[in-house]
Structure 1
Amino acid sequence: MRVIFLGPPGAGKGTQAKRIMDACAIPQLSTGDMLRSAVAAKTAVGVRAKEVMDSGALVSDDIVNQIVSDRIDMDDCKSGFILDGFPRTVPQAEALTNILREKGLDLTAVIELRVDEDALVERMRSRVAETIANGGVVRSDDNPEAFRTRLHEYREKTAPLSEYYAKTGELKTVDGMADMDAVTASIRKVLRLD
């Protein structure tokens, strides 16, 4: 089971990925976690990444692609994995396709959670109000303006992945506006887990 979740911020990707991860006993691979782990382990690619990060520059796709490739080779990924935050761009998706092909692997599915962006802004407002009411701390980017900026960034950079994976035949869409359990049930159906 090798799965990618797509969808804008607030669509529920993390929640759904966790549910599928638990159901299938496969790891959720976060590019941020993989990068930190490679740096901490002082792997060859981790050393390169640290040099780039220490200079204040962004880590290149080549380095990220190598870190993902190395991580997929680990024992806990033998039964599959869920990619979190990768790919973010079409060039990264193309690189991932090549990485998997070289390993003799295929994606099981790319699941896109389709959502209404205005409804997402309302969800965010409700979450902020609930957090405040419960005495919690609100993240600095949890406001409508910052959230709309994140949505715009998603549309510009990440949304083109939908078209890429539609062309490969791997894209499956799920109504992300449904009740959380209904979304999970739809994903399980797409992945043939029932």
Structure 2
Amino acid sequence: MIRSLFALSEAKVEAKTLLNGGQMCEDRRPKKNINAKKRTLEMRIILLGAPGAGKGTQAQFIMEQYGIPQISTGDMLRAAVKAGTPLGLEAKKVMDAGQLVSDDLIIGLVKERIAQDDCAKGFLLDGFPRTIPQADAMAANGISIDHVIEIDVPDEEIVKRMSGRRVHSGSGRVYHVVFNPPKVEGKDDVTGEDLAIRPDDEESTVRKRLAIYHEQTKPLVEYYGKVAAAGETQYNKFDGTQSVAAVSEQLASVLK
């Protein structure tokens, strides 16, 4: 489970304006000026959504707007191992043995990471928790969350977004057969060289990743909905088929 967590957090999904966005569905409070000064109060956020839903774009907006770091479990693990912290050394020993890193160890690393100075105003968790046991472990360890944000996009829309992407391997330029097609089908606009489909963008791979999301992570939607109903966090759901600008503005209206 943790291994798949790291693999998914490593997978890079280019966020393009036409492929992301959102419309707030549940919170109707007055909108906030997205150009307002960064807040100084603590803001601890979990961002939920399937791969390709547009989380990367909105995570970047949140980091820039509110001055909080995005915490990736993969990056966190590598940093702890490199720094030689006790938990990092323990994790290295487990990984070197080809074993799965336990939830308890990951929670320890999260607590270690969020205690650092750059998290003084809050943090944005990327790819964690991914399962209900991990969410339970966070709560049991006193890691409070102020906002849970879900970006919701139908599976077929995600398949269309991701499986339609084409990449020029030499430059990294990204096209889309529907939304951003090259001038000549299958060819890079600059070099005229062939475009390729990355393994992560193959339709079969996308559908497998979506299946994993629905099995492991989608239950967190109901979990955090109950937590919010108990008054212990705020939960907001956004329609990710809308524009990037729309979802950013609506995010700003709830992150107060």
TM-score scaled by length of structure 2: 0.70
Mapped partners of 2:119, 2:187: distance in 1 = 41
Matched, 1:175 2:217: no
- Higher normalized helix content (fraction of residues): 1
Contact 2:165 2:197 (C-alpha < 8 Å) held by counterparts: no
Give the equivalent residue in structure 2 for 1:54.
Answer: 96
Question: How far did residue 144 of structure 1 move?
Answer: 0.6
Q: What is the distance in 2 between the residues matched to 1:34 and 1:112?
A: 23
1:150 corresponds in structure 2 to 209
Q: Which has the higher contact order (CA 8 A, sep 6+)?
A: 2
Q: Aligned to 2:142, what secondary structure does the other structure show? A: helix
Q: CA deviation at 1:107?
A: 1.6
| 3-state SS, counterpart of residue 68 of structure 2 | coil
Alignment gaps of 5+ in structure 2? 1-42, 168-174, 177-185
CA distance in 1, matches of 2:78, 2:160: 34
> Could you tell me how far 1:71 is from its partner in structure 2?
0.3
| Aligned position for 1:84 | 126
CA contact (8 A) 1:115 1:177 kept: yes
Bigger Rg over Cα:
2
Q: How many angstroms does 1:99 deviate by?
A: 2.8
Tell me what 2:161 maps to.
123
Shift of 1:139: 2.5
Percent of aligned pairs with the same residue?
48
Query: Deviation of residue 98 (structure 1)?
Result: 2.8
Letter in 1 for 2:71: L
Displacement after TM superposition at 1:133 (Å): 4.2
Does residue 3 of the first structure (1) align with residue 45 of the second (2)?
yes
Q: Once superposed, what is the RMSD of the aligned Cα atoms?
A: 1.6
Aligned-partner Cα distance in 1 for 2:124–2:162: 25
Q: Does 1:191 align with 2:255?
A: yes
Map of 1:163 onto structure 2? 222
Distance 1:86 1:137 in 2: 31
